[in-house]
């Protein structure tokens, strides 16, 4: 079976053609996202949803022309964010991404939206989650006129491709909006209503990978969240295998038939009513990029050519000691899901160890350490050990030192996935999965 998978990511849009029986890629296409919009509010992170759909559709049409034997289309994309749709299925807003920080704003008598939700209802609703952003919009009167529902960007692509007027979300995307009880697989409508939101705007959610409709005669299937799609593209349905995903943000995930949650750990809906236990890292590959930008700024300040410094960083880290000379870097520069106000830090600095190679090593250890802390929470809770690490995402694929640091901390073999664009591959596999069980 040949299928296409499309992934609308935060920084890129990718599409693959896959022979799903052989798990072999026949084509890969990637284009820059380049859709962020300037706004009056510095905390907003908004992208042009219509532009994203246009770019994805161009990729899809090109691949269908080159590979006419494709039988089905699977979708995925950045989770948590929302755009609003009207009764005709058209977007009436831009995309408020997972990086949007409206939930951190003080709209409840000096208390932030997220803090108020945690204190009032005891739910770990994080800033960037769609319904947290929506609650801020409700409080500020910013819900667009004519809004009848909301969905993620990948779900909106599915609507545009098939002509649907109402969104249908897989539970992986539905839960990513927040206010979702993963134990019983439904929105917490009572809390949503009590908090002042209209439950009628909630999208319909399914636990199955259902068909949305047809595009050019081929079935298009409901979008998986990018975390679940990436997991499907790499791990599949294997247990005791941990997926380390390092992109702009990152996740550590493992499959479980048992529901388990802890501070910073979510039980995310997967296939066959199972869960992926996931801890999210807001500043994974981005932390390394922050250091690269710093080195680039230093070069510019010294009158040198301002260019990418990743190759330099790769050379530097080879000369650094395993302990980074004692320098310790906390790479939580964007906080955490449970503590968005937390800031990163660099400590243990002495006259002797303040060297660029130690900074690079310290940043790498800081990133790896965030993943290991997530692992310890899940392992203590359920006893799931790290028999094997499967690594995905360019942030780890292109960074040998980070791979070594992860292996050292976890005391487990780390294997890079054979497939590139893992989330798009998972989307392609989800289409095959759906047709197989129809």
What are 233-247's pLDDT values in tens digits? 888 888 889 999 898
Give the separation between CA 16 and CA 87, rounded to whole angstroms. Answer: 32
The strand ranges marked E within 128-273 are 149-151, 168-170, 180-181, 186-187, 204-206, 211-215, 218-221, 224-225, 241-246, 250-256, 265-269
- pLDDT tens column, 47-73: 999 999 999 999 999 999 999 999 999
* 437: pLDDT strictly greater than 90: no
* 438: pLDDT strictly greater than 80: no
Give the separation between CA 6 and CA 334, rounded to whole angstroms. Answer: 28
Residue 149: pLDDT band with limits 50, 70, 90 = very high
- Alpha-carbon dihedral 7, 9, 12, 15, rounded to 10 degrees: 0
Q: Report yes or no: 170 and 220 within 8 Å, Cβ to Cβ.
A: no
* Per-residue CA distances from 137 to 38, 203, 258, 358, 375 (Å): 18, 17, 35, 44, 35
* 42: pLDDT strictly greater than 60: yes
* 409: pLDDT strictly greater than 60: yes
Residue 96: pLDDT band with limits 50, 70, 90 = very high
pTM, to two decimals: 0.81
Measured from the Cβ of residue 311, the count of other Cβ atoms closer than 10 Å reads: 9
Given its phi and psi angles, is residue 302 left (phi above 0), alpha (psi -120 to 50 degrees) or beta?
alpha
Least confident of 73-77, 78-82, 304-308, 366-370: 304-308
Backbone angles phi and psi of 197, in degrees to 5: -100, 155
Give the separation between CA 250 and CA 286, rounded to whole angstroms. Answer: 9
Give the separation between CA 152 and CA 98, rounded to whole angstroms. Answer: 10
The strand ranges marked E within 105-203 are 106-108, 111-112, 149-151, 168-170, 180-181, 186-187
- pLDDT tens column, 298-313: 999 999 987 889 999 9
Q: Report yes or no: 152 and 169 within 8 Å, Cβ to Cβ.
A: yes
Q: How many residues are recorded in the chain? A: 438
Mean pLDDT over 37-54 rounds to 94
The pLDDT mean for the chain works out to 93
Query: Any idea which residue has 């997926």 for tokens?
Result: 243
User: Quick check: helix, strand or coil at residue 18?
Assistant: strand
Residue 268: pLDDT band with limits 50, 70, 90 = very high
């Amino acid at each position: 079976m040949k299928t296409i998978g499309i992934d609308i990511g935060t920084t890129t849009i990718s599409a693959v053609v896959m022979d799903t029986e052989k798990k072999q890629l026949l084509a890969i296409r990637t284009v820059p996202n380049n859709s962020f919009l300037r706004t009056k509010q510095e905390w907003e992170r908004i992208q042009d949803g219509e532009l994203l759909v246009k770019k994805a559709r161009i990729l899809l049409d090109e691949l269908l022309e080159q590979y006419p034997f494709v039988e089905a289309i699977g979708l995925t994309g950045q989770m948590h964010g929302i755009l609003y749709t009207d009764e005709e299925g058209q977007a009436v807003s831009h995309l408020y991404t997972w990086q949007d920080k409206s939930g951190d704003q003080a709209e409840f008598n000096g208390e932030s939206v997220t803090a108020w939700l945690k204190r009032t209802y005891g739910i770990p609703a994080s800033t960037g989650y769609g319904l947290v952003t929506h609650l801020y919009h409700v409080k500020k009167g910013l819900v667009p006129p004519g809004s009848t529902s909301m969905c993620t960007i990948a779900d909106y692509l599915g609507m545009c491709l098939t002509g649907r007027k109402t969104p249908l979300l897989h539970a992986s995307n539905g839960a990513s909006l927040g206010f979702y009880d993963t134990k019983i697989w439904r929105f917490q409508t009572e809390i949503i209503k009590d908090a002042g939101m209209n439950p009628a705007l909630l999208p319909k959610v399914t636990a199955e990978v259902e068909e949305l409709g047809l595009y050019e005669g081929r079935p298009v299937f409901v979008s998986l969240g990018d975390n679940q799609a990436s997991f499907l593209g790499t791990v599949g349905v294997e247990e005791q295998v941990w997926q380390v995903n390092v992109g702009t943000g990152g996740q550590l995930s493992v499959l479980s038939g048992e529901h388990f949650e802890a501070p910073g750990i979510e039980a995310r809906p997967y296939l066959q009513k199972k869960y992926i236990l996931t801890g999210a890292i807001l500043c994974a590959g981005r932390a390394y990029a922050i250091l690269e930008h710093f080195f680039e700024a230093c070069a510019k300040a010294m009158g040198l050519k301002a260019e990418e410094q990743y190759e330099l960083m790769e050379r530097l880290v080879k000369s650094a000691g395993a302990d980074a000379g004692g320098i310790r870097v906390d790479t939580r520069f964007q906080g955490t899901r449970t503590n968005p106000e937390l800031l990163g830090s660099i400590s243990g600095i002495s006259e002797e160890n303040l060297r660029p190679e130690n900074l690079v090593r310290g940043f790498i250890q800081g990133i790896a350490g965030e993943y290991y802390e997530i692992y310890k929470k899940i392992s203590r809770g359920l006893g799931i050990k790290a028999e094997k690490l499967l690594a995905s995402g360019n942030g780890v694929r292109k960074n040998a030192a980070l791979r070594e640091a992860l292996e050292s901390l976890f005391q487990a073999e780390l294997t890079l996935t054979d497939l590139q664009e893992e989330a798009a591959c998972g989307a392609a596999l989800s289409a095959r999965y759906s047709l197989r069980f129809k």
